[in-house]
Amino acid sequence: MPSLKYQAGDKVMGRWPGSSLYYEVKVLGYDAKSRLYTVIYKDGTELELKEQDIMSVTSFQQRTRSRSRSNSRSPGRRRSRSRSPARTTRRSSSRTTAAAAAAAVATDSTPSSRGDKKLKQAAEIKISPIQEKKPAENNSNNKHEKKEENNMASKADAKVEVDSEKNLGRYNLRRRKEDGDSKAAEAKPEEREERSSAAPPAAAAASTPLDFGGNIGALVLMLFLPAWVLFLVLQVNQKDPSLTNLPTLPPLETFWDPQALGFVIIWIFFQALLYTLPVGKVRVLLRSGRRLTYRTNGFFTFVVSAAVVAAAVYQGADLTYIHSHFLQLTSASFLVSMLLSVYLYVRSRSAGLDERALGGNSGKVIYDFFKGRELNPRIKEFDLKFFCEMRPGLIGWCLINVAMALAEMKQQKLDAPSYSMILVNVFQLIYVVDGLWNEEAILTTMDLMDDGFGYMLAFGDLVWVPFTYTLQANYLVSHPNPLIVMTVCLCVSVVGFYIFRKSNSEKNAFRRNPADPRLSHLKTIPTATGKSLLVSGWWGVVRHPNYLGDLIMALAWSLPCGFSHLLPWYYIIYFLILLVHRDSRDMNACRRKYGSAWDKYCRTVRYRIIPGVY
Ligand SMILES: NC(=O)C1=CN([C@@H]2O[C@H](COP(=O)(O)OP(=O)(O)OC[C@H]3O[C@@H](n4cnc5c(N)ncnc54)[C@H](OP(=O)(O)O)[C@@H]3O)[C@@H](O)[C@H]2O)C=CC1
Ligand SMILES: CC(C)=CCC[C@@H](C)[C@H]1CC=C2C3=C(CC[C@@]21C)[C@@]1(C)CC[C@H](O)C(C)(C)[C@@H]1CC3
């Protein structure tokens, strides 16, 4: 390994996955493809580690010394750390000693005397080979596994058993059964949150295999997506929209309207202002040693926005401007999303390695620009990705829908919006308000956890969502459709929403606090990161029950538009493609994160989105 930081045979300190504990390890080799070092612990346990999880012994000692010095200077800053799954605070057990653990050093901010004691306790790790399980044991009904996992969830201070899975060279961490107590269940919510977030950092220096066909695919998408939005926006005004009846391109100057740009900017700044107000709960996401705080005041923002818009209408503002200047508003938003993407790319060049997303850190300019390099770009505490995903476009979606209802009344000379328009408005309003009400759930989604913030999300949040998700309402303005299947629409919507909400809440609650007594009936699979996977309940039916619910809702949004044209059905077709692709991206990401535990989950829960079909 000539040009590598660590050479085979080097004695170094290796971080234990999912924790902040470092152990003395010997480097065995390096795999250039996966960019992982194979290291061996003193007892013979082998693991694969990223470069940033390894440190030379000297720099480790310097770091530990300087930390304990600064800690002894500022005792007020000490805090008890319970987030690591490998961390234990219990008395030593004769069954739980390991040579590897003897070298363990806690790197957290504890004074050295206490640190030594903690060290010993942290060393209570048992390393034993996993038995190859018979297929029957892999079954989700395996009570033993369930019990073990429940213990794991409910004990922040339980001992950890490290099992080596010989065939794959991977490891599972499991708490031991007999260590039952309910400390974690009693812990304060903030503490629980920290604990359940104890996964290894998602950000890393290395990149993952390229999605979307790499540079070329990203370039094609970057050109295709705005062109497609333009196509839809022009199509929806056609009397008879169809793939064979293409719209004519308007003169270039019609795209540009400074007033429309002004409105877009005012809307974004207004949303940004509301986002910064100190209202709502503060949520914490732990990422590569950083504490990221999020203020979840989405619902409040929605209510204030609605009140301000209502007041403006009362004062004589004409919301139908949005319908009549739709093209200009779309191009203005596109311009803003482009500028934002360039800003994001430029600032990502100075982002630290641990602040970059795995997916957009390939070194290929176009691909990285598209996917986004920085995971959670922030201006001070202002999180750009979280804000863009949850505020201007999402709330703008409802504003546009209301404008379409008013435009329909104006165009069709109606005293009230049509039933079809009301249903589309109400269904989508519920979807958006639900998203804002459960805003903290977004912190466990792929976008926040794994994807960088670049063109894809900037364009998606600011252009795609507000200007294409409103297509059904926009279509109804000039294509009235008498509603004959009201009850069917309502039933489909309720079923979809129920599945969507229940499954998302189940996963979110589990990720926030695996020891939640309301989830104690669920079966889980432990993984080497310390996090577990739900294998019963909604997540035992299919691997993405939330996508299933979302798709069923999408059906309910198109039904009120009737069957005269394909255009209002475009959303469900697009959404199916998006979610199938998203599902495979997530499958790959989870396989990388959880290794054999993920394969086991997939063997147990065979279908991805639609039970019995896919
Ligand atoms: N309207 C729209 O345009 C869109 C809506 N959505 C909706 O947004 C929501 C979020 O979607 P998305 O972020 O894609 O995906 P998910 O919310 O499904 O998040 C996927 C993550 O959940 C965790 N996970 C997966 N399986 C399990 C399991 N068995 N037990 C516990 N955790 C598990 C994994 O992360 P980890 O283990 O690290 O926690 C995985 O990476 C969905 O409801 C989706 O329908 C999504 C895209 C577009
Ligand atoms: C084609 C293209 C540019 C794709 C970009 C994808 C984005 C449009 C979507 C990625 C994930 C999203 C989510 C929502 C909106 C669409 C995007 C941004 C979401 C905010 C909608 C409301 C839901 O309740 C939600 C909060 C679960 C959801 C989160 C994911």
- Of 468, 215, 457, give the one whose Cα is nearest residue 340: 457
Give the position of tokens 């990223």.
50
DSSP string over 295-362? EE-HHHHHHHHHHHHHHHHHTT--TTHHHHTHHHHHHHHHHHHHHHHHHHHHHHTTS-GGGB-STT-S
pLDDT of residue 106: 31
> Which whole number is the average pLDDT over 114-127?
35
pLDDT bucket at 208, cuts 50 / 70 / 90: low
pLDDT of residue 45: 61
- Which residues, judged by CB distance below 6 Å to any ligand atom, belong to the binding site of ligand 1? 444-447, 449, 500, 504, 507, 510-511, 531, 533-534, 539, 544, 546-547, 550, 582, 586, 589-590, 601
> Which whole number is the average pLDDT over 432-451?
88
User: Which residues neighbour 356 within 8 Å (Cβ) at sequence distance 6 or greater?
Assistant: 203, 204, 205, 348, 373, 374, 375, 452
**Does residue 84 carry a pLDDT above 60?**
no
pLDDT of residue 97: 30
Most confident region among 66-80, 83-97, 504-518 by mean pLDDT? 504-518
> Which whole number is the average pLDDT over 21-36?
80
pLDDT bucket at 441, cuts 50 / 70 / 90: confident
Residue to mutate, 457, 468, 571, ligand 2, most ligand atoms under 8 Å from C-beta: 457
**Does residue 158 carry a pLDDT above 80?**
no
pLDDT bucket at 276, cuts 50 / 70 / 90: very high
Residue to mutate, 341, 442, 504, 544, ligand 2, most ligand atoms under 8 Å from C-beta: 442
- Ligand (nearest to CA of 459): 2
pLDDT of residue 287: 67
User: Which residues neighbour 58 within 8 Å (Cβ) at sequence distance 6 or greater?
Assistant: none
- CB 275 within 8 Å of CB 297: yes
- In one letter, which amino acid is 473? A
Q: Which residue has the higher pLDDT, 73 or 560?
A: 560
- Ligand (nearest to CA of 542): 1
Whether the complex's predicted ipTM surpasses the cut of 0.95: yes
Q: CA–CA separation, 272 vs 571, rounded Å?
A: 28
pLDDT bucket at 444, cuts 50 / 70 / 90: confident
Tokens of 600: 């086991």
- Which residues, judged by CB distance below 6 Å to any ligand atom, belong to the binding site of ligand 2? 225, 389, 394, 434-435, 442, 445, 447, 456, 459-461, 464-465
**Does residue 46 carry a pLDDT above 70?**
no
pLDDT of residue 42: 66
Summarised one tens digit per residue, pLDDT across range 450-507 is: 889 999 999 999 999 999 999 999 999 999 988 778 899 999 999 999 999 999 999 9
- Ligand (nearest to CA of 229): 2
Q: CA–CA separation, 43 vs 170, rounded Å?
A: 15
User: Per mean pLDDT, which range of 35-44, 295-304, 555-564 is the poorest?
Assistant: 35-44
**Does residue 409 carry a pLDDT above 90?**
yes
- Delineate the domains of the chain, giving CATH numbers in brackets: 1-123 (2.30.30.140), 279-475 (no CATH)
Q: Which residue has the higher pLDDT, 19 or 385?
A: 385
Task: Quote the percentage of the chain above a pLDDT of 70.
Answer: 73
Most confident region among 43-47, 111-115, 429-433, 519-523 by mean pLDDT? 429-433
User: Per mean pLDDT, which range of 89-103, 246-260, 459-473 is the poorest?
Assistant: 89-103
- Residue identifier of the C-alpha nearest atom 18 of ligand 1: 544
* The model's pTM: 0.73
Calculate the average pLDDT of the chain: 78
> Which whole number is the average pLDDT over 591-614?
92
- Residue identifier of the C-alpha nearest atom 28 of ligand 2: 435
For the chain, give me the number of helices (H) and strands (E)? 23, 15
